Structure 1
Amino acid sequence: MGMSIQLNVFEALTAAGVPPDKARDVERQLEIAIQAGQSEIRAEWREQLMTKTDAAAMETRLNVRFNDQLRWIITTQVAMTGLVIAAVKLF
């Protein structure tokens, strides 16, 4: 794919009357600019995409949070049951 783009740029420039050496220079500069842009995009994606390690760490944190929440709910239910039993015995 990259080769056909290079040939098309070179051919278009030479067809427009640009000397071949200047057309090659433009072609190389365009290729460098495209590669630099791709490198920047890849670097940005690496920062934004989740890796397997990130997913495992997030899953661990979520499991800890869910377990904490479950303990809180069970403790609350046990406490409420104790209060209801105490209230029933009182009255």
Structure 2
Amino acid sequence: MTDSDPTALTLLRERADSGDPDAIDELVELAAERGDLAELRRLADRGSSTATDQLIEVATEQGNLDELRRLADAGNTTAADQLLDLTTE
């Protein structure tokens, strides 16, 4: 599936929202490929640790200090480490 098919993406989101782990994994992968922090944040906020990991990775790649700070302030030590690395280079 590609994100160029809005109907398929909508259906995938519905499956993910219903708790389908395969759909969640696919959405996380698509969002990470697109660098879509909002989608990753949404999935992470719903409890996907994979989405959280990808959110940190993409935010780090993009140099998004605000997102890393938000995650660090919420207690994510990996985000805090990445934030420290980016701000002390």
Q: Which TM class, normalised by the smaller chain length?
A: under 0.3
Q: TM-score if structure 1 supplies the norm length?
A: 0.22
Q: TM-score if structure 2 supplies the norm length?
A: 0.22
Structure with higher helix content = 1
**Structure whose CA Rg is larger:** 1
